[in-house]
Structure 1
Amino acid sequence: MDAIEPIDAAGPSASTGPSHATEPLLRELVGAVLREERLRQGRTLARLAAASGVSMQHLSDVERGRKDPSSEVLAAITGALGLSVYEIGDRVAALRRSPAALRVLDLTAAGRRELPLPGPTAASPGALATGPVLLSVA
């Protein structure tokens, strides 16, 4: 039986697939879509947490792409937003088809600044897009 090699915590290497620097993680996209919908509805994090039964800290972590929500947590959040998990999936897929709709908020610099989604899929170099925000905090 072949040994299973551990996955590097830093992510896949250039030889095994796209790196996080060029492609956002699914949890970041899902979190961005959830946050965008919450804000579109004019709801606070506290109100959505109470309505979904998910702690405010965990909900915040999910929205910021720091935590992968379980299917139960995702269903609770989407249900509280009046959406289905399928609708969230469709919105994530739409972002995948149109990555220019994403913008990255770089919090590592002295001041906040928006950056285009890195990689060859950005609409045009240096262009800022509107849409869900992926936070970059290194």
Structure 2
Amino acid sequence: MVLFRRLLGDVLRTKRMRQGRTLREVSAEARVSLGYISEIERGQKEASSELLASICAALDVPLSEILAEVSDAVALEEAAMAVAVDEATAPAKGLTTTALPPGAASGGARSGDVVASAA
């Protein structure tokens, strides 16, 4: 299961660390307790829209940018979960899964795509 709060925390932590800022600095500027921001970054607490807006302002990053990055991370995790489910159920369906080698892509498939074929 994809946890939005965990992915949101990962994105916020990455933004903060790329800026070379500490939790204490962001906490003071956002006027949110250090412990609460830490819990948000670790995916242990949900951030309200007001709190998230305050953290984004402290990081000088648009909320839309944070949400877009979280959305991309959710999509990647969902895709990875779908592949894992497909690989787990393929033998029961009489299918095998194979990753295409580089340069072997044809049709709509791309290099590195996972494809299913009848056994």
Q: Same fold (TM over 0.5)?
A: yes
Whether the aligned pair in 1 keeps the contact of 2:8 and 2:43 (CA below 8 Å) is: yes
TM-score, with length taken from structure 1? 0.55
> Which amino acid is the alignment partner of residue 51 of structure 1?
E
Aligned position for 1:88:
66
Aligned position for 1:103:
none
> Which amino acid is the alignment partner of residue 76 of structure 1?
S
- What is the RMSD computed on CA atoms of the aligned residues? 2.3
Equivalent residue pairs, number: 85
TM-score, with length taken from structure 2? 0.64
Aligned position for 2:27:
49
Unaligned runs of 5+ in 2: 85-119
> Which amino acid is the alignment partner of residue 99 of structure 1?
E
Query: For the pair shown, which has the larger CA radius of gyration, 1 or 2?
Result: 2
CA distance in 2, matches of 1:94, 1:121: 17
Cα 1:49/1:95, change in 2 over 3 Å: same
Whether the aligned pair in 2 keeps the contact of 1:99 and 1:121 (CA below 8 Å) is: no
Work out which of the residue numbers 10, 13, 29 in structure 2 matches 1:32.
Answer: 10
Unaligned runs of 5+ in 1: 1-22, 101-117, 123-138
Identity of aligned residues (%): 41
